[in-house]
Structure 1
Amino acid sequence: MKKFYIVLFCIAFILVGIFSVKITDFNFGGNTRYTDEEMKEMLFPNELSKITLYNFIRSKLKKDYNIPFIQGVDIYVTGMNSADIIVYEKSVVGCVKYMSSYMYFDKDGIVVESSNNLLDGIPIIDGLDFGRVVLYEKLPISNEKVFEEMLNITQVLVGYGITVDKITISSDNNITLYIGKIEVYLGDSSELNGKIGELRDIWEKIKDLSGILYLDNYNPIKENTTYTFKKR
């Protein structure tokens, strides 16, 4: 009987030791959609989830954390009380309004997330004609050419580091960007890189104004090409 109590004591001692060693130093990387504190609250919501041994075990497992806009998370236990957490975010370049939700899509036009909230820095695309939107499938836009132009616009904007609030594509395929109090009328998608490049170059001069920038006739390969800005 004495040996039995000794074994129980040893087990209890080990368990106390295991449960008392917890992660207190969290080092996050890769997260831009959520702050470090928000990621910490979602991944480590209680004291049990901070136990070092538990995190060592789940670092070896491919766990799906079901966090909106997060593709995956890697946890690396770097010490008795420390861990590095690498966050892999879903690639999102735009969204469309569908029923009561915003459907977010990646650079290939695949719908990767659905949310009731409109994210900062992600443009909403207006003027597209599409059918039933299904998560993890390609946006069902009826006009393939318009679909390709829409993806091209979002890619060019990302490439130039320009964040817009909304992009509209009219029935005759003319494009308008909305950035704060400024509308940027691009016309059709011809010379799109040159138009967006010019927008980037002059943005500091006009960003605090209100009005419409007409870049529809701008062509960087032509001499004396012009554009106008009409203040409101």
Structure 2
Amino acid sequence: MSNVISMEKVRKRKNKTGKFVLLIICLVFILVIFAFQLINVNIITVIGNKIYSEEKIKNIVGIHEKTNLFVYKLASKELNLEEYPYIENIDIKYRSFNNVDIVVNEKSVISYIPYMGKYLCLSKDGTVIDYTNDLQVNIPIVHGLSFDHFVIGDKLFTDDTDIFKSILEISHKMKKFDFKIDYIDFNYNDPEQIIIKIDKISISIGNINDINRKFELLKDLIGKLPEGVDGTINLTDADKRNIIFTPYNSK
């Protein structure tokens, strides 16, 4: 009988042994992860949420303090956000076995538009996000628009794109100049006559041409006025050097 063992058999034995060891290592790794998850509470950090609470975001995502993040990640599927109109997307970032960041990107409301006793919430792309009476602070209410229907999730403006551009531009500038604009009034018969209201002051800005210059002049003038005064300001001509404030009780 030959005592010679072929190299092919040796290689096969080594391959079987190597696969077996690898399998054992994988099983131990999985068991360690499960054991670690059982004895530890998840650290969950919710970032970027303003409208929805942290607990609501956790429920939407399906991650809680005792969720097995390893299994969750393996079974991860696309989130259904259709019921949450203010959410653009949610990104889940895993820091470790039990540490996760939930990053929420909410849609921003640039204006409210009154309609049949409630308000349409308009996003920066002209989409109607919501129809509600629950209004956030420091977002202007737009008057003077006319339409007969709307669909949440669709764009409100189709033909009157100039009006939406005006709303968007005023929204950008009010943030730049730190204006708290309460109302934006459009004259439906004459879209070149836009009036904004800050506190008790009505400001005629005409159209949005030279809006940056107009708001620079407005910032300078309002800074010189006493608090609580009411009156009007005409900013239709941005080239005009001396902008006049007219109190309502002036004769």
Question: Which of 166, 185, 195 lines up with 1:176 in the alignment?
Answer: 195
Give ranges in structure 2 of 5+ residues lacking alignment: 1-32
Aligned residue number for residue 64 of structure 1? 80
CA contact (8 A) 1:167 1:177 kept: yes
- Structure 1 counterpart SS, 2:227: coil
Partner of residue 134 from structure 2, selected from 99, 117, 120 = 117
Alpha-carbon shift at residue 128 of structure 1 (Å): 0.6
Q: Deviation digits for residues 149-168 of structure 1, max 9, x if unmatched?
A: 33333333344343322211
CA deviation digits over 1:107-149, x for unaligned, max 9?
Answer: 3322233333112122111111122111122214664443443
| Alpha-carbon offset, residue 199 of structure 1 | 2.3
In the alignment, is residue 187 of structure 1 matched against residue 206 of structure 2? Answer: yes
Matches within 5 A, 1:214-225: 214-219=233-238, 221-222=239-240, 224-225=241-242
Matches within 5 A, 1:19-34: 19-24=38-43, 26-31=44-49, 33-34=50-51
TM-score w.r.t. structure 1 length? 0.72
Aligned partner of 1:8 in structure 2 is none
TM-score by length of 2: 0.68
RMSD: 3.4
Q: Which residue of 2 aligns with 1:42?
A: 56
Mapping of residues 41-190 of structure 1, within 5 Å: 41-44=55-58, 49-54=64-69, 57=72, 60-65=76-81, 66-140=83-157, 143-171=160-188, 172-173=190-191, 174-190=193-209
Show CA shifts across 1:38-64 (max 9, x none).
Answer: 63221235x972224248726943313
Taking only the aligned residue pairs, the percentage that are identical comes to 25
Unaligned stretches of 5+ residues in structure 1: 1-13
Closer, same or farther in 2 for the Cα pair 1:75/1:148, shift >3 Å? closer
Structure number with greater Rg is 2
Q: Partners of 1:144 and 1:81 in 2: how far apart?
A: 49
Q: Distance in 1 between matches of 2:79 and 2:226?
A: 44
Distance 1:180 1:225 in 2: 22
1:194/1:213 CA distance change after superposition, 3 Å: farther
Q: What's the offset of the Cα at 1:81?
A: 4.3
